[in-house]
């Protein structure tokens, strides 16, 4: 599969974050498609961000009871309360299946430490692994200066631990192009038993780079996403490195 060619080697790289964009395009079932080429954003580094937080109804139960017994806990900073046990049990991960025009295929994801490379194939790099759903979330960078070598990229989100909990989180994947508005895809459909979700496809179509909303939840892991989209990779059990 050529995974070893894309392993992260710990190099420090400065990226354009695209944070200057102040407005947003939300991709929905009805409006599910946008062209990066037409908005002159098919170059530079495309930042893909995954962020999430627990639904307030899910956090509430035991914490509300605890606050009644210990009112001073309400004075604790939100970041401290946010990393309660209910948060730690939900570990959403950002990943990307890639297919290049030379036929090479593979995956970029924290599982197995396939962090990728932004300056060499697959031109996709995961910057880190957020295990707690912090405000910044997880970032992935795609080098669109090599768009001619990219055939298709499927950005997906999966749950690493044993608890399917998409219905317990507010998750959003945001794309920050080098030019124009950011692109948002909300994972707000209720699929309590789903473990993975194909979020967005970035594809070269007749020399035009397009972004298409997918938001397809599956009850398995990456192998099921592979079958759904016909990637044809061989999958085995993988693990994260301990922190």
Give 109-154 pLDDT, tens digit per residue. 988 889 999 999 999 999 865 444 445 578 999 999 999 999 999 9
- Closest Cα to residue 158, out of 191, 205, 122, 125? 191
Q: What was the pLDDT predicted at 77?
A: 44
> Does 201 or 167 have the greater pLDDT score?
201
Q: Which two tokens stand for residue 32?
A: 């599910």
Asked if residue 240 is part of any domain, the answer here is no
Q: Which of 9-18, 172-181, 199-208 has the lowest mean pLDDT?
A: 9-18
Query: Omega of the bond prior to 122 within 30 degrees of 0, cis?
Result: yes
Asked if residue 236 is part of any domain, the answer here is no
Asked if residue 234 is part of any domain, the answer here is no
Asked if residue 235 is part of any domain, the answer here is no
Is the pLDDT at 186 greater than 70? The verdict is: yes
Q: Give the contacts of 148 (CB within 8 A, at least 6 positions apart).
A: 101, 204
CB 221 within 8 A of CB 158: yes
Q: Which two tokens stand for residue 97?
A: 């299946």
Asked if residue 239 is part of any domain, the answer here is no
Distance separating alpha carbons of residues 120 and 2, to the nearest angstrom: 12
Beta carbons within 10 angstroms of residue 11's beta carbon: 9
CB 47 within 8 A of CB 140: yes
Distance separating alpha carbons of residues 3 and 200, to the nearest angstrom: 22
Number of domains into which the chain is organized? 1
Distance separating alpha carbons of residues 126 and 114, to the nearest angstrom: 8
Is the pLDDT at 25 greater than 70? The verdict is: yes
Asked if residue 241 is part of any domain, the answer here is no
Predicted TM-score of the model (pTM): 0.76
Is the pLDDT at 45 greater than 70? The verdict is: yes
* CATH number of the domain encompassing residue 37: 2.60.60.30
Mean pLDDT estimate for the chain: 77
Asked if residue 119 is part of any domain, the answer here is yes
Domain extent for 74:
3-8+17-229
Band the pLDDT of 88: cuts 50, 70, 90. very low
Q: What was the pLDDT predicted at 164?
A: 65
Asked if residue 21 is part of any domain, the answer here is yes
Distance separating alpha carbons of residues 122 and 98, to the nearest angstrom: 7
């Amino acid at each position: 599969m050529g995974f070893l060619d894309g392993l992260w080697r710990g190099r420090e790289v400065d990226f354009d974050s695209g944070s200057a964009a102040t407005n947003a395009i939300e991709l929905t079932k009805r409006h599910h498609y946008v062209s990066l080429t037409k908005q002159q954003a098919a170059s530079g580094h495309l930042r893909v961000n995954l962020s999430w937080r627990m639904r307030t109804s899910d956090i509430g139960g035991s914490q509300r009871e605890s606050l009644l017994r210990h009112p001073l806990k309400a004075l604790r900073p939100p970041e401290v309360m946010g990393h309660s046990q209910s948060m730690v049990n939900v570990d959403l991960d950002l990943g990307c299946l890639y297919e290049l025009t030379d036929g090479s295929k593979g995956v970029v994801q924290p599982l197995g430490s396939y962090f990728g490379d932004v300056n060499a194939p697959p031109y996709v790099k995961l910057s880190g692994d957020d295990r707690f759903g912090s405000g910044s979330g997880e970032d992935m960078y795609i080098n669109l200066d090599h768009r001619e070598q990219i055939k298709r990229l499927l950005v997906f989100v999966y749950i690493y631990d044993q608890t399917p909990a998409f219905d317990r989180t507010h998750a959003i994947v945001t794309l920050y192009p080098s030019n124009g508005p950011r692109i948002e895809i909300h994972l707000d459909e209720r699929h309590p038993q789903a473990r993975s979700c194909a979020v967005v496809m970035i594809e070269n179509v007749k020399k035009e780079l397009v972004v298409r909303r997918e938001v397809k939840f599956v009850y398995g892991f990456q192998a099921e996403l592979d079958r759904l989209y016909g990637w044809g990779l061989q999958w085995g059990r993988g693990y994260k490195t301990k922190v």
